[in-house]
Amino acid sequence: MSSTHGIKTVLHPVTDLEAAKPVYAALLGVAPSADGSYYVGFDAEGQHIGLVPGAGDQGMAGPVAYWHVDDLEGKLAEVTAAGATIKDPVREVGGGRRVATVADADGNVLGLLQDP
């Protein structure tokens, strides 16, 4: 079995990035560590919280928690063999970071993330 390092990243879909940004900054008590028109990210207490505008158009109906893994393909194979279905296949999202999402039998979306 490939190892999992827990949930370290949670992405939230937002419709208005500029309206959401100050709410999350106040909640987390930190300024954004990444602040662009396509993504705003916050690093607080060992967690990364991301705001994704237009994510609803991509089928992201609610927050998605990402489990950090050492072997993305290996963990993806394990969870699909156990009954999960691939929602979004493996893709690079920048800086060598790769992600994928799967759905469990109830349709809950689970994210997998591998850093370089």
Question: Could you tell me the residue ranges of all domains in the chain?
Answer: 4-114
Predicted TM-score (pTM) of the model is 0.85
CATH value of 4-114 in 3.40.50.970, 3.20.10.10, 3.40.50.1110, 3.10.180.10: 3.10.180.10
Site of tokens 């992201």: 60
pLDDT of residue 57: 72
Mean pLDDT (10-residue bins), the chain, 116 residues = 84 93 95 94 94 80 92 96 95 92 92 94
Q: For residue 5, what pLDDT is reported?
A: 84
Per-residue confidence (pLDDT) for residue 2, from 0 to 100: 73
